[in-house]
Structure 1
Amino acid sequence: MRTHRTARGAAALATGTALVTLLAASPAGAGAPGLPTVTARSETAALYDDEAGGNADADDPAIWRNAADPGRSLVVATAKEGGLRVYDLGARQVQSLAAPRPPAEGDAPGRFNNVDLVAGLRTAAGRADVAVVSDRGNDRLRIYRIDPARRGGPLTDITDPAAAPVFSADQAEINDQRTAYGLAAWKDTATGRAYALVSRRERTELALLELLPAANGAVGYRKVRTLALPSSFTLPDGTAWSPCAEPGELPQVEGMVVDPATGTLYAGQEDVGIWRLRADLTDRPVLVDRVREFGVPGTYDEVSEECVPGADPGYGGERLAADVEGLTLFLERDGDGHLLASGQGDNSFALYDREVGDGNEYEGGFRIGAATRTLDGVEECDGAAVLNAPLGARYPRGLLVVQDGLETPAAPDGEGGSRTSTGFKFVDLGTVVDATGM
């Protein structure tokens, strides 16, 4: 989600919850100008964040591969108050699931923010592939079993009814909406245990949750530990800096992904940059790259509800324009791969080497432009998912799905204006590989 942006880029070792000193400069390399452009092959129907559109707002996708019939794989995507959408590889909707209703009048409704998948999760009813969703509205996780043969739609809610709030003590705190936000799920290759990492809205806190079988085939979770990323930084000139935000807000994390081979978490702190740390939250986080706006002072204007930036001291990075969002992993069959991140500020995508030993070097980027007058490009991308595996005749080289934060053309609102719309674009991964040399 776009927030008040005043940040700027990364490559430093940092830890703690308060003041952090930058120890290194950004990696060398070209910035965003001149990036190659690819186009989407298809897109979902537009979603509208208003009463006429069901308060649906596209946010985050995940790709489920049907091993028995790859051409019938699915994309599971969040639509905030609009719940979940499930699409086939033609970007056609095959299922819509509503977010939970408010517990009582005046309480916050369910609001699905991020989604990730776990294959072969252990349940009392046997192993199952599941979609794990962060429900910001209720400060909980929701878990959905995936069964492509199920009549009525492939997803079934199997969340343990006793699942507790992730961060809040009671409903009053939940209604304040400093709740479960970003999410990444994975399975520990050594133990077979499944986990979800969840960030907290308007805070720097991350929570590690273990997914656990419950009665009647349901799935619950328990909190293992938490960690808070920094909210304040010491710049090279000795001054302290924090990203500008509405009073009381701290720089939040949304985009996250775990490298299952190494148990490494990459977390995008929206106005700061990309952090790397152990997925079990037991080590010191390292700032892999900073957003360009890092270090830029800002003053929050209560009238416009925006931050007014000051002079740029030049401490930011070169590739990412805040917010940093949409983290996902492109995994290659030989063990190599790339971390992909979206920079909302200039509608670009950055690629980093997956190898931690090489410092996750920047290796290029791209944009997604318009294919036709009706199949537009991607702007203000909030979430992304990539799968480097054959998906039938339509996507034999894999698939990239990204959220489009400004779907066009916008529909009229009936009052002489237009309704803001969002959606998801489906991109042939082969075209990205060819354009970037991945």
Structure 2
Amino acid sequence: MKNFLYLIIALSIVACAGKKEIKEETADTVENIDTVRIKPKYVTQQVISDTDDPAIWINKSNPSESLIIGTDKGDDGVLGGLYVYNLHGEIDREKSIKNLERPNNVDIAYGLPYNGDTIDIAVCTERFTNSIRVFKLPEMQAIDNGGIPVFEDDTLRSPMGIALYTRPSDKQIFAVVGRKEGPTDGSYLYQYELKSNGGVVKGELVRKFGIWSGEKEIEAIVVDNEAGFVYFSDERNSIRKYYADPAKGNEELGQFGKDNFLEDREGLSIYKKTDSTGYLLASDQSDNTFHVFTREGNNDFIAELPFSTDQSDGSEVINYNFGSEFPKGIFVAMSDDKTFQIYDWRDIEKAIEDAMQK
């Protein structure tokens, strides 16, 4: 009875406050709340220092052999890297990349023209070298001659977030890059066209865009290729929406997710039900939840779901049949214990459906 009263008191405090507050909870309260959190199917082996952001590469000839790639930012005196995992979270140490200088975010694209063929690539930011790095998949072979410099015309560099956009009309691949700090004049993000020449991938700056509120930073970025939009988290303000194609201009198309976040809006990922419908998920980092919005229309709020992640900074989700364990896709989210958590999308789908029925 005592434990039940603790739970009622804690929930009453939240309800009276309206906006979420950081609050002290008894061990009993935490245990009771955690029983309703969505649990992962697998948790990856730990990295050395500090996980940050994952990406998923689909092995289309053998989906169960697909890969998860996650960043380890490193720590004081310890370099970071890109860790390559199988779908059970086991590290492939031969493919993993070490000795990167503060890699933050990573993304994947398919079909880059390269030496008369097309290849798949993983691209990450390397903050302390002011560059982005490009690796050929699945070998994880570096094909960027040591890195592509970014934000070269500004003193505020330090790249953090990255998302890759593949333009449907010509399959051209672009990298949208954010940074630790930037201007508030609508040029926080830089977009680069990626092209290979003589076996080396280079980037050409094609536009600067993106309003920043001036609070905290912009790190999380995601692109919806089919719909043609790029979204990014203005961490203490909102989620912002723009055209992904640089030819369509730099007008801000929308803002959402302004309310009911505890602190930072972080990792963004898009689950595609069809070419035009689905969900956008945004991490409420300090609350250990993800907010779910519609992919279509005005990105209306649907639900807030509690996850087992701790202080999740980055996520990725793919709707693909990876076999009997993940027939409707995989959701991967960073957790603050040096791991990434791997979820069966069916568990999240059920939680969304249950929330919509309430």
With normalisation by structure 1, the TM-score equals 0.67
Instruction: Tell me the secondary structure at the aligned position of residue 118 of structure 2.
Output: strand
Match of 2:227 among 257, 262, 268: 262
Match of 1:283 among 228, 242, 250: 250
- Report the Cα distance in structure 2 between the residues aligned to 1:164 and 1:90, rounded to whole angstroms: 32
Match of 1:352 among 293, 296, 302: 293
Partner of 2:344: 428
Are residues 1:392 and 2:326 paired? no
Alignment of 1:154-303 (within 5 A): 154-161=139-146, 164-168=148-152, 178-204=157-183, 205-215=188-198, 217-231=199-213, 243=215, 251-280=216-245, 282-291=249-258
Residues 84 and 99 in structure 1, CA contact (< 8 A), matched pair in contact too: no
Task: Name the CA shift for 1:143/1:164 in 2 (closer, same or farther; >3 Å).
Answer: closer
How far residue 353 of structure 1 moved from its aligned partner, in angstroms, is: 0.7
- Report the Cα distance in structure 1 between the residues aligned to 2:328 and 2:19, rounded to whole angstroms: 28
Partner of 2:126: 135
Residues 347 and 381 in structure 1, CA contact (< 8 A), matched pair in contact too: yes
How far residue 394 of structure 1 moved from its aligned partner, in angstroms, is: 2.3
- Report the Cα distance in structure 1 between the residues aligned to 2:19 and 2:145, rounded to whole angstroms: 46
How far residue 335 of structure 1 moved from its aligned partner, in angstroms, is: 3.1
Partner of 2:39: 39
- Report the Cα distance in structure 2 between the residues aligned to 1:352 and 1:290, rounded to whole angstroms: 9
- Report the Cα distance in structure 2 between the residues aligned to 1:186 and 1:65, rounded to whole angstroms: 17
Partner of 1:79: 72
Task: Name the CA shift for 1:46/1:167 in 2 (closer, same or farther; >3 Å).
Answer: same
How far residue 141 of structure 1 moved from its aligned partner, in angstroms, is: 1.1
Partner of 1:417: none
Instruction: Tell me the secondary structure at the aligned position of residue 59 of structure 1.
Output: strand
Partner of 1:336: 277
How far residue 327 of structure 1 moved from its aligned partner, in angstroms, is: 0.4
How far residue 231 of structure 1 moved from its aligned partner, in angstroms, is: 2.9
Residues 111 and 171 in structure 2, CA contact (< 8 A), matched pair in contact too: no
Aligned amino acid, residue 351 of structure 1? V
- The CA deviation string for residues 303-354 of structure 1, in whole angstroms up to 9 with x for no partner, is xxxxxxxxxxxxxx12x22211110100013631111100112111011111
How far residue 179 of structure 1 moved from its aligned partner, in angstroms, is: 1.5
Percent identity among equivalent residues? 29
Residues 384 and 403 in structure 1, CA contact (< 8 A), matched pair in contact too: yes
- The CA deviation string for residues 34-89 of structure 1, in whole angstroms up to 9 with x for no partner, is 99631011111223xxxxx4xx3100000111111111110011111321000001
Match of 2:306 among 367, 384, 398: 367
Residues 124 and 218 in structure 1, CA contact (< 8 A), matched pair in contact too: no
- Report the Cα distance in structure 2 between the residues aligned to 1:76 and 1:230, rounded to whole angstroms: 28
- Report the Cα distance in structure 2 between the residues aligned to 1:44 and 1:428, rounded to whole angstroms: 14
Partner of 1:88: 86
Instruction: Tell me the secondary structure at the aligned position of residue 52 of structure 2.
Output: coil
Instruction: Tell me the secondary structure at the aligned position of residue 342 of structure 1.
Output: strand
Residues 140 and 164 in structure 1, CA contact (< 8 A), matched pair in contact too: yes
- Report the Cα distance in structure 2 between the residues aligned to 1:194 and 1:388, rounded to whole angstroms: 21
How far residue 135 of structure 1 moved from its aligned partner, in angstroms, is: 1.1
Instruction: Tell me the secondary structure at the aligned position of residue 40 of structure 1.
Output: coil
Instruction: Tell me the secondary structure at the aligned position of residue 182 of structure 2.
Output: coil
Count of residues in correspondence between the two structures: 312
Instruction: Tell me the secondary structure at the aligned position of residue 37 of structure 1.
Output: coil
Aligned amino acid, residue 328 of structure 2? R
Q: Which runs of 5+ in 2 are unaligned?
A: 1-17, 22-32, 75-79
Residues 281 and 290 in structure 2, CA contact (< 8 A), matched pair in contact too: yes
- Report the Cα distance in structure 1 between the residues aligned to 2:86 and 2:133, rounded to whole angstroms: 22
Task: Name the CA shift for 1:334/1:210 in 2 (closer, same or farther; >3 Å).
Answer: closer
- Report the Cα distance in structure 1 between the residues aligned to 2:291 and 2:266, rounded to whole angstroms: 11
Q: Which runs of 5+ in 1 are unaligned?
A: 1-29, 48-52, 101-109, 148-153, 233-242, 244-250, 292-316, 369-376, 408-421
Divergent runs of 4+, >3 A: 30-36
Partner of 2:13: none
Aligned amino acid, residue 191 of structure 2? L
How far residue 218 of structure 1 moved from its aligned partner, in angstroms, is: 2.2
Instruction: Tell me the secondary structure at the aligned position of residue 286 of structure 2.
Output: coil
Match of 1:402 among 309, 330, 333: 333
With normalisation by structure 2, the TM-score equals 0.81
Residues 273 and 287 in structure 1, CA contact (< 8 A), matched pair in contact too: no
Which structure ranks higher in relative contact order (CA pairs < 8 Å, sequence separation ≥ 6)?
1
